[in-house]
C-alpha cells in the first residue's frame, strides 16, 4: 500500500528510459552494490547512497532511517543518470531529508522505555523470570526474560503474535464486506511497506502496524483488500477505499506523522513506509 521502517516506504519511481546497451563503462560496481556520494542541491550539501539492484526496473528514491537518501537503480542504469534525478526531484529530496532530520532528532530524545501499542504509549519494564514472555496491564508492558534473553527479541515476538491475531481476525471480518477473498495472510518484517497484495491474492502486513490505532490498522487492511478488486491506485481503487474507510486520509497522515514511534527506538529502525 504509502512504518514505514518500516520498515511504510515514502518513495518516488522514475521511468528509466535509457535504451539498453551491452555495457556501460561509466560504472564498474557489481549488482546489488552500495556506493556513497555527495552533491549540492540549492546550495545545501547532501549525501546519498546509490544501490544497484538486480530486481529494480526503475530508478527509485527512498529515505531510510539508518542511511538517509538512498537511490536504487537498475543493474544496467548508468550513474550519469543520477544528476538528472537529483535536479528533477530536488524539492522532494530536500523536503524529505528535512523531515528525516527532525525524526532523527525526535528519535534521539525519545524515551526508549516507552513504546506504542494500538496507538497508545505503553511503559516497558523488564524483570527476570523462569521463562520469556510479555504481559500487558493497562498501559504497562511487563517483559519477562530468562537467562539473559534479549528484550528486543522477546518484545518483537509478542508484537508479532498480537499482530497476527488482530490482522487475521480483521481480514476475516472485512473481506466479505468488500466482497473479496484472499488466499493467504502473512505478517512479517518489511523494510519498504506497511502492507502489500500479490497477484496471487496473498496479503502481507508489516507487524509494526500493531503499534497504530485499530482504525489505522483497519485502513491498512482495507487498502490491501481493495487491491484484490483493483490491482492499481486508480480512481476506482480510491473510491472503493473511500466507501469502506471514509477517514482514510487522516489514517494515512497518522502513519506518516508517527513513523518514528512506529519504528520503535528499541526495535529495528525503519524508514517511513508506504502502502502499495
Output the pLDDT for position 263. Answer: 62
Q: Dig out the grid coordinates for 134 from the structure.
A: 510479555
In this prediction, residues 106-132 reach a mean pLDDT of 81
In this prediction, residues 77-98 reach a mean pLDDT of 88
In this prediction, residues 100-113 reach a mean pLDDT of 67
Residues 65 and 263 sit within 8 Å (Cβ to Cβ): yes
In this prediction, residues 26-44 reach a mean pLDDT of 70
Cβ atoms within 10 Å of 64's Cβ, excluding its own: 21
Output the pLDDT for position 259. Answer: 73
Q: Which residues pair with 195 in a beta bridge?
A: 205, 275
The per-residue pLDDT for range 161-210, each reduced to its tens digit, is 999 999 999 999 999 999 999 889 999 887 668 888 888 889 999 999 99
- Residue in the block written with cell 499482530: 163
CA distance 178 to 222: 8
Residues 144 and 135 sit within 8 Å (Cβ to Cβ): yes
Q: Dig out the grid coordinates for 186 from the structure.
A: 502473512
Residues 4 and 271 sit within 8 Å (Cβ to Cβ): yes
In this prediction, residues 78-98 reach a mean pLDDT of 88
Q: Tell me the percentage of the chain whose pLDDT exceeds 70.
A: 78
Residue 215 has pLDDT above 50, yes or no: yes
Output the pLDDT for position 235. Answer: 93
Q: Give the angle 272-56-231 at the CA atoms, nearest 5°.
A: 70
Domains of the chain, residue spans: 11-109
Q: Edge-to-edge, what's the strand order for the sheet holding 184-188? A: 184-188, 202-206, 195-197
Amino acid at each position: 500500500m504509502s512504518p514505514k521502517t518500516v520498515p511504510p516506504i515514502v518513495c518516488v519511481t522514475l521511468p528509466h528510459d535509457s535504451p539498453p546497451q551491452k555495457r556501460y563503462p561509466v560504472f564498474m560496481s557489481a549488482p546489488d552494490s552500495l556506493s556513497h556520494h555527495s552533491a549540492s542541491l540549492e546550495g545545501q550539501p547532501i549525501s546519498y547512497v546509490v544501490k544497484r539492484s538486480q530486481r529494480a526496473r526503475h530508478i527509485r528514491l527512498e529515505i531510510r532511517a539508518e542511511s538517509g537518501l538512498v537511490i536504487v537503480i537498475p543493474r544496467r542504469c548508468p550513474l550519469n543518470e543520477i544528476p538528472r534525478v537529483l535536479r528533477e526531484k530536488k524539492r522532494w529530496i530536500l523536503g524529505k531529508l528535512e523531515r528525516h532530520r527532525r525524526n532523527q532528532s525526535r528519535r534521539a530524545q525519545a524515551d526508549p522505555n516507552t513504546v506504542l501499542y494500538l496507538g497508545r504509549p505503553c511503559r516497558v519494564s523488564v524483570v527476570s523470570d523462569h521463562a520469556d514472555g510479555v504481559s500487558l496491564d493497562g498501559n504497562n508492558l511487563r517483559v519477562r526474560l530468562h537467562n539473559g534473553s534479549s528484550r528486543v527479541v522477546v518484545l518483537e515476538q509478542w508484537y508479532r503474535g498480537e499482530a497476527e491475531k488482530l490482522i487475521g481476525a480483521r481480514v476475516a471480518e472485512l473481506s466479505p464486506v468488500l466482497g473479496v477473498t484472499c488466499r493467504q495472510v502473512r505478517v512479517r518484517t518489511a523494510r519498504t511497506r506497511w502492507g502489500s497484495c500479490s497477484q496471487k491474492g496473498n496479503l502481507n502486513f508489516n507487524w509494526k502496524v500493531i503499534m497504530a490505532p485499530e482504525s489505522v490498522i483497519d485502513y491498512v487492511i482495507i487498502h490491501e483488500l481493495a487491491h484484490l478488486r483493483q490491482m492499481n491506485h486508480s480512481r476506482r481503487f480510491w473510491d472503493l477505499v473511500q466507501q469502506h474507510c471514509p477517514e482514510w486520509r487522516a489514517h494515512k497522515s497518522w502513519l506518516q506523522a508517527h513513523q518514528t514511534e512506529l519504528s520503535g527506538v528499541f526495535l529495528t529502525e525503519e524508514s517511513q513506509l508506504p502502502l502499495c
